[in-house]
Amino acid sequence: MDTETKEDTRVEPDAEEIEKFNKTPFTREDNVGGTFTEESSFATLFPKYREQYLREAWPLITRALLPSGITGVLNLVEGSMTVTTTRKTFDPAAILNARDLIRLLARSVPAPQAVKILADNTACDIIKIRNLVRNKERMAKRRQRILGPNGTTLKALELLTGCYILVQGATVAAMGSYKGLADVRRIVEDCMRNIHPIYHIKTLMIRRELAADPALANEDWSRFLPQYAKRNQSHRHKPKKIREKGPYTPFPPQQEKSKIDLQIESGEFFLAKGAKERKAREEREEKVREKMEEKKRKRAKEFVAPKEEGKVGKWWLKPKSRERQKKDAEEEVGGGSGTMDGAADDYDGGDDGGVGVDVQMGDASGPPEPQPKPKPKSKSKPWPEQKPEPRSEPANSMMGMNADRARMINGR
């Protein structure tokens, strides 16, 4: 009777109302078949540095697995974790959630956060990023972009996707809804392909604002989303010398002549052994001679004076200033006035071989006015001539001796 009533009261929802990724909770009453006939188990290894943490957090994990009827074993000798179903297990999917739990614990997810995977509306995704980039250093730089400065980029991704994200080593572990996990995987894979997460963050923020507007719920959002142009920058280095290809010909190029062919053409091939050695020696000496001449020319270039460029004349004479040029011009104009100073100074009685000319200035009607006496030229006095002093001959010189002898002969 109770079974019929229960079947009558249950209302099956329409297929359109059921969301794609949401699940209805599975209770013990839903397991009509009873206990499982086979035992299922999953095991995973964990790194050495997680051993101490797992030993301390294992009681919490065991208590979290107890309502689902799952047992867990921590093997510190082998470094592995194992989860197994029991006769009390009623949910077939509970063992899969327990499997994800030990995988997250092995990837350094904290135990309080990892036990949330046992809920039906929570899923996880472990993204391997090591094989997406060949260079290890480049992978580390692009992995740092997911974190951002002081973890700001990672916090923004967690708020916009509603997922817990942990970057550890060569993997990225994420926990959340199925829709958020799909966004996280796309963002991480694009980041490894050199697309910065900031572009996805802008798109997610715009979608979040558009989803809050009921008027735009059934419209296309592509006109609101930013469109980024792809810029493929080629890093190929262009060669220094680009060889231009000639016109295509189906015939191969002419074969180059070998060393023996060249010797036959020059006649060297038919020479004797001594003649060949002598010719080779002469060629070597000629090359040495040419190199020596080249070195001499290079050394001689260092002793050639460079050509002076610039003003022609005495470069050490400074040009006259404007004041000096003006003063010289005034003196020239003043020297050509009506006085006889300049004429008397310039005229020196016709010593230059010219004809003397008397110059008189004044009115033609009356007698000429007396002119001042021209001042004599200031000539510097020459140095007095120094007369050589008479040389005093010594008494015992030969000339003195001859003079005394002649005097004595005359006295006789």
- pLDDT tens across 230-270, in order? 766 666 677 788 888 888 888 888 889 998 999 899 888 88
Which among 189, 188, 160, 190 is positioned nearest to 176, based on CA atoms?
160
Which among 98, 64, 59 is positioned nearest to 82, based on CA atoms?
98
Average pLDDT estimate for 135-146: 93
Query: d(Cα 397, Cα 203) in Å, to the nearest integer?
Result: 127
- Write down the CATH number for the domain with range 122-227: 3.30.1370.10
Helix (H, G, I), strand (E, B) or coil at 168: strand
Q: Which residues pair with 74 in a beta bridge?
A: 81
Residue 125: band (very low, low, confident or very high) from pLDDT cuts 50, 70, 90: very high
212, amino acid identity: A
The distance in angstroms from the start CA to the end CA of the chain is 201
pLDDT tens digits along 311-346: 555 555 556 677 877 888 888 776 544 444 444 444
Q: Are 105 and 161 in contact (CB under 8 A)?
A: no
Is residue 375 pLDDT above 60, yes or no?
no
Query: d(Cα 405, Cα 393) in Å, to the nearest integer?
Result: 17
- The token pair at 272 is 């004797």
Q: Which residues of 25-59 are buried (b: 16+ CB within 10 A; e: fewer)?
A: eeeeeeeeeeebeeebebebebeeebeeebeebbe
In this prediction, residue 364 carries a pLDDT of 44
What's the Cα-to-Cα distance from 333 to each of 228, 360, 362, rounded to whole Å?
Answer: 84, 20, 20
Query: d(Cα 163, Cα 178) in Å, to the nearest integer?
Result: 9
Is residue 376 pLDDT above 80, yes or no?
no
Helix (H, G, I), strand (E, B) or coil at 32: coil
In this prediction, residue 19 carries a pLDDT of 53
pLDDT tens digits along 14-38: 444 445 555 677 788 888 877 888 8
Q: Where in the chain is the domain with CATH 3.30.1370.10?
A: 18-121, 122-227
Query: d(Cα 329, Cα 22) in Å, to the nearest integer?
Result: 109
Is residue 274 pLDDT above 90, yes or no?
no
Count of C-beta atoms within a 10 Å radius of residue 176:
21
Q: How far out from the chain centre does Cα 301 lie?
A: 40
Is residue 227 pLDDT above 90, yes or no?
no
- What is the pTM for the complete model shown? 0.51
In this prediction, residue 23 carries a pLDDT of 63
Query: d(Cα 161, Cα 184) in Å, to the nearest integer?
Result: 7
Q: Are 170 and 121 in contact (CB under 8 A)?
A: no
Which among 386, 379, 360, 356 is positioned nearest to 371, based on CA atoms?
360
Q: What CATH number matches the domain at 18-121, 3.30.1370.10, 3.40.120.10, 1.20.58.110, 3.40.50.740?
A: 3.30.1370.10
**Which DSSP string do the residues of 107-160 spell out, in sequence order?**
TT--HHHHGGGGSTT-EEEEEE-GGG-S-HHHHHHHHHHHH-GGGHHHHHHHHH
Query: d(Cα 191, Cα 197) in Å, to the nearest integer?
Result: 6
For 286, the enclosing helix (H) or strand (E) is: helix 273-301
Average pLDDT estimate for 99-124: 93
* Look-up of token digits 């735009």: 216
